[in-house]
Structure 1
Amino acid sequence: MRKILLFDTIIDGHHADYLSHLINYWLQHQPEGELIVVAQASFEPIFRQLQESAPIVTSVQYVPISQQEIETTHQGSVIGRSFREWNLLLDYCQRYQPTHALLMYFDIFQLGLWLGRKAPCAISGIYFRPDFHYPPSSGLKARLNVLRKRATLHGVLKQSTLKNLFCLDPSAVTLVREMNPRVNVIPLPDPVKSYVITSGEIEELRSALLIKPGRTVFLLFGHLDERKGIEPFLEALNQLDPAVQQKICFLLAGAIRPDYQAHIEQKISAVSPDVQIVSVFKEIKGRAIQVYFELADYALTLYQRHVGMASVLIRAAISGKPLLSSDYGYMGQLVKNEQLGAVTDSASPTTIRELLEQVMTEGISYSETNLRKLAEHNSDVSFARTILEQLNE
Structure 2
Amino acid sequence: MNHTDHLLIFEPEMAGHQPLYIRLLYHYLLENKPTLKVTFVVHPDINKRLVKEDGIKLQTVGNKINLVFLNETEISASLHNTLWIRAVNRWRLMKKYLKTTGANHGHFLYFDHIQFPLALRLPFLPEKKISGLLFQPPMLDFYGDEKNLKEVIRNYRKKWFYTLMLNNTALSFVYTLNPLFPSYARKHFTNGNKAYHLPDPSMFPTGDINLSDEDCALTKHVGENRKLFLLFGALTKRKGIFEVMEALKHLEPEYISQIAVVFAGKLEAGIRSTFLDKVDFYKQNNPNANLHVEDRFLSTNEIISLLQYCDIVLAPYHRYFVGSSGVLLWAVGAKKPVLTSNYGLLGYQVQKYHLGISIDTTKPKLIADAFRRYLNNPDDYERNTSGMERLHAESLPENFARIFFSKFL
Q: Same fold (TM over 0.5)?
A: yes
Q: Does 1:6 align with 2:20?
A: no
The residue type equivalent to 1:186 in the other structure is Y
Identity of aligned residues (%): 22
Equivalent of residue 176 in structure 1, options 185, 191, 194? 185
Distance in structure 2 (CA, Å) of the matches to 1:122 and 1:4: 10
Equivalent of residue 220 in structure 1, options 231, 235, 239? 231
| Aligned partner of residue 334 in structure 1, secondary structure | helix
Check the 8 A contact 1:44/1:64 in 2, yes or no. no
Distance in structure 2 (CA, Å) of the matches to 1:71 and 1:277: 34
| TM superposition score normalised by structure 1 | 0.89
Distance in structure 2 (CA, Å) of the matches to 1:29 and 1:61: 16
Specify whether residues 208 and 353 from structure 1 end up closer, same or farther in structure 2 by C-alpha distance, changes over 3 A only. Answer: closer
Check the 8 A contact 2:47/2:57 in 1, yes or no. no
Correspondence list, 1:211-250, <5 A:
211-250=222-261
Q: Once the 2 structures are TM-superposed, how far is the Cα of residue 36 of structure 1 from its aligned partner?
A: 0.9
Q: Which residue in the other structure is 2:37 paired with?
A: 34
| Aligned partner of residue 105 in structure 1, secondary structure | coil
Correspondence list, 1:102-121, <5 A:
102-114=107-119, 115-119=121-125, 120-121=127-128
The residue type equivalent to 1:122 in the other structure is K
The residue type equivalent to 1:383 in the other structure is F
The residue type equivalent to 1:192 in the other structure is S
Q: Which residue in the other structure is 1:351 paired with?
A: 366
Cα-to-partner distance string for 1:105-156 (whole Å, 9 max, x where unaligned): 11122222331123322321100121453565435xx554433321111111
The residue type equivalent to 1:300 in the other structure is L
Q: Which residue in the other structure is 2:398 paired with?
A: 381
Equivalent of residue 339 in structure 2, options 324, 328, 334? 324
Q: Once the 2 structures are TM-superposed, how far is the Cα of residue 21 of structure 1 from its aligned partner?
A: 1.3
Check the 8 A contact 1:206/1:295 in 2, yes or no. no
Distance in structure 2 (CA, Å) of the matches to 1:264 and 1:122: 48
Q: CA RMSD in A?
A: 2.7
Equivalent of residue 94 in structure 2, options 89, 97, 100? 89
Distance in structure 2 (CA, Å) of the matches to 1:360 and 1:72: 47
The residue type equivalent to 2:164 in the other structure is G
Residue segments in structure 2 that go unaligned for 5+ positions in a row? none
Residue segments in structure 1 that go unaligned for 5+ positions in a row? none
Correspondence list, 1:250-265, <5 A:
250-256=261-267, 257=269, 258-265=272-279
Distance in structure 2 (CA, Å) of the matches to 1:322 and 1:172: 26
Check the 8 A contact 1:234/1:267 in 2, yes or no. no
| Aligned partner of residue 182 in structure 2, secondary structure | helix
Check the 8 A contact 1:237/1:275 in 2, yes or no. no
Q: Once the 2 structures are TM-superposed, how far is the Cα of residue 33 of structure 1 from its aligned partner?
A: 2.0
Q: Which residue in the other structure is 2:64 paired with?
A: 59
- After TM superposition, the structure 1 stretch with the greater mean CA deviation from structure 2, 278-287 or 230-239, is 230-239
Check the 8 A contact 1:192/1:311 in 2, yes or no. yes
Distance in structure 2 (CA, Å) of the matches to 1:275 and 1:96: 55
Distance in structure 1 (CA, Å) of the matches to 2:286 and 2:14: 39
| TM superposition score normalised by structure 2 | 0.85
Check the 8 A contact 2:245/2:278 in 1, yes or no. no
- After TM superposition, the structure 1 stretch with the greater mean CA deviation from structure 2, 115-124 or 15-24, is 115-124
| Aligned partner of residue 11 in structure 1, secondary structure | coil
- After TM superposition, the structure 1 stretch with the greater mean CA deviation from structure 2, 62-71 or 333-342, is 62-71
Distance in structure 1 (CA, Å) of the matches to 2:138 and 2:260: 34
Q: Once the 2 structures are TM-superposed, how far is the Cα of residue 243 of structure 1 from its aligned partner?
A: 2.9
The residue type equivalent to 1:318 in the other structure is G
Distance in structure 1 (CA, Å) of the matches to 2:47 and 2:282: 38
| Aligned partner of residue 123 in structure 1, secondary structure | strand
Check the 8 A contact 1:238/1:272 in 2, yes or no. no
Q: Does 1:123 align with 2:130?
A: yes
